[in-house]
Amino acid sequence: MKIVILGPPGSGKGTQAKFIAEEYKIPNICMGDIFRKLSKEDEYIKKIVNSGGLIPDKKTEEILINALEKDDVLHRGFILDGFPRTIAQAEFLDNYLKKYQTKLDVAFLIDVAQEVLVRRISSRRICRNCGAVYNLISNPPEIEGKCDICGGELYQRDDDKADVIRNRIKKYNETTKEVVDYYRNISILKVVDGKGSIQEVYSIVMDILETL
């Protein structure tokens, strides 16, 4: 199974990607996680990530190829979260897969209203020590500012602040609409309403995958 999952920041696509990867025993290639890891070593990438901007296509494509060419991913299948972000990236991915005589099976779009997204993301907190993730609305810690697991300090990522979130969503909408239309035009797009609970959205996604 070769899957792309699209959705604005805070749509829950990352969580759905993890569930799908576990169900189908395929690698979950999360470009956001890769970028955040690289930003610890690369000041150029760090600046873009912290401002809510997008990494240029060429650099992103290089990073993607490195991920796809590890551990026989192209033959095992994968779910791709955070790529493509532009029509050029979508075309690049299709052409790259064609070289290996394969193609995508489905592209999911997890669709959620903007203000719901801002509220979700700006409420997210992360433990500095163990990396556990909390949400002040849906999954708050027992003690404010402290991790339930290890007692570590909780913090808000720079790119989780409301003004940065709106900028991220604006950039997402400006660039990804063409990607959505691209996958719709080749008849592999499946739109999923993302306003429900994690399990409700996952059930819809799995129902779709079982028909492919």
Structure confidence by residue, pLDDT tens digits, 45-76 = 888 877 767 788 888 999 999 999 888 888 88
Q: Which of 5-14, 21-30, 90-99, 141-150 has the lowest mean pLDDT?
A: 5-14
DSSP-derived secondary structure for 77-146: -EEEES---SHHHHHHHHHHHHHTT---SEEEEEE--HHHHHHHHHTEEEETTT--EEETTTB--SSTTB
Compute the mean pLDDT over every residue in the chain, rounded to the nearest whole number. 91
Report if residue 120 sits inside a domain: no
Report if residue 182 sits inside a domain: yes
Q: Which residue, chain included where needed, has tokens 């990530």?
A: 49
Q: Assign 113 a pLDDT band (cuts: 50, 70, 90).
A: confident
Torsion of CA 137, 142, 147, 153, to 10 degrees: 80
Instruction: Return the CA Rg of the chain.
Output: 17
CATH code assigned at 185: 3.40.50.300
Task: Tell me which residues are annotated as active site.
Answer: 13, 85, 124, 157, 168
| Triad 154, 12, 73: Cα angle to 5° | 105
Report if residue 22 sits inside a domain: yes
Number of independent structural domains in the chain: 1
Report if residue 150 sits inside a domain: no
Does pLDDT of 142 surpass 70? yes
Report if residue 183 sits inside a domain: yes
Report if residue 125 sits inside a domain: no
pTM of the model: 0.79
Report if residue 84 sits inside a domain: yes
- The H-or-E segment that residue 201 falls in is helix 198-209
How many residues appear in the chain?
212
Report if residue 23 sits inside a domain: yes
Domain that holds residue 24: 2-112+161-209
